[in-house]
Homo-oligomer: A and B are copies of this chain.
Amino acid sequence: MLPVPEKYALAVGKGEGGKKLNAFDAALIDAGIGNMNLLRVSSVLPPGCVFEDGIDLPLGSLLPVAYGSITSDVHGETISAAIGVGVPENNEDSGMIMEYSGFCEADEAAQKVEEMVRDAFEMRQVKLREVKVKAVDHVVEKCGSVIAACPLFYPRR
């Protein structure tokens, strides 16, 4: 089996670059996950998964991550991304991770993602203890990108 992640963090970042992938890369660096191999997942918080304030992993690690991201090369455009994690009341339930990205400010993105988390819990009829949200926005200069991410990882042994 692939090991079930035991830790999670929330990270947001923004940046500019010469090409869209470089702008995305700049946002990853700003979010502190620019030197990891992101494996995008869709997006469940394993039961008992513990929040950490940052990630400390070997460079180049395969890092499962749920994220929302948007990149634009339209000068003056406001772009935003938000990540929301719903922590269940009961430690034996799984939680839910929702991501959002769009053309709005961070507050609106945060609000939308929180609503998405609440909907996901309602759909599962699981009781919600807490929603953690992080959001970011950016006004595009030449080519800009934002990311809001929930890395899922393991204790370093």
A50 within 8 A of B: no
Task: Give the residues in chain B near A115, CB-CB below 8 Å.
Answer: 18-19
Given A18-B115, A22-B116, A22-B120, A152-B64 contact (CB < 8 Å): no
Quote the shortest CB–CB distance from A25 to chain B (angstroms).
5
Contact-residue bracket for chain A: 35 or more
Q: Distance (Å) between the CB of A80 and the closest chain B CB?
A: 15
* From B1, B41, B45, contact of A154 by CB (8 A): B1
Task: For residue A119, give the distance in angstroms from its CB to the closest CB of chain B.
Answer: 5
Chain A window 41-65, contacts with chain B (Cβ cutoff 8 Å), 1 for yes, 0 for no: 1111111010000000111111010
Question: Within A121-157, which residues are at the interface with B (CB < 8 Å)?
Answer: 123-124, 152-154, 156-157
- Assuming the contacts A19-B112, A119-B19, A119-B22, asked whether A39 and B39 have C-beta atoms less than 8 A apart, the reply is yes
In the complex, 29 of the A-B residue pairs with CB atoms within 8 angstroms, ordered by the A residue number, are: A1-B154, A1-B156, A1-B157, A2-B2, A3-B62, A4-B58, A4-B61, A5-B62, A19-B116, A22-B119, A22-B120, A25-B123, A29-B124, A35-B44, A35-B94, A37-B43, A37-B46, A37-B64, A38-B41, A38-B43, A39-B39, A39-B40, A40-B40, A44-B59, A44-B60, A46-B58, A47-B59, A59-B93, A59-B94
Give residues in A with beta carbon < 8 Å to B.
Answer: 1-5, 17-19, 21-22, 24-26, 28-29, 34-47, 49, 57-62, 64, 93-94, 96, 98-100, 112, 115-116, 119-120, 123-124, 152-154, 156-157
